[in-house]
Amino acid sequence: METIKKFNNLVGQYFKEEHHISFYEKKLGLKSKYLSKLSKKHNALPPCQVLLNKQIEYSKLLLQNSHKTIKEIAEEMNFEDQYYFSKLFKNKTGVSPSEFRKIKE
């Protein structure tokens, strides 16, 4: 579906700055909740999980391939603070960002 392709492209473009699904709905000209319905059908995930997956995957790359601190990565990814970022990261991956970095060294 074209709308989902556009959504996935927008996530790829704005995932660092825009963490609210309402931003993507507005960009696509969709009513609230319709993007969720489409995403669940075509991505098999709600849009918030598509976005979070992209954020976590990019964060993993930064942890593996840079010497940035976890705080710097959290700031680059536009999270409230490093503790919130670390909590989301651990919930999604099962390990903290610092543990992930040690495993991948």
| 105 has pLDDT over 80 | no
H-assigned helices in 29-95: 34-42, 47-65, 70-76, 82-93
When computed from its CA atoms, the radius of gyration of the chain, rounded to whole angstroms, is 15
CATH, residue 65 = 1.10.10.60
Reported pTM: 0.90
Question: How many domains, in total, are found in the chain?
Answer: 1
- Each residue's pLDDT tens digit, 18-69: 999 999 999 999 998 899 999 999 989 999 999 999 999 999 999 999 999 9
Q: What is the extent of the structural domain holding 50?
A: 2-104
Q: What is the pLDDT of residue 49?
A: 95
Q: Return d(Cα 5, Cα 7) in angstroms, integer.
A: 5
Residue carrying the six token digits 């074209």: 2
Q: What is the pLDDT of residue 104?
A: 73
Mean pLDDT, the chain, rounded, equals: 94
Q: Return d(Cα 101, Cα 7) in angstroms, integer.
A: 30
Torsion angle, alpha carbons of 26, 18, 88, 58, to 10:
120
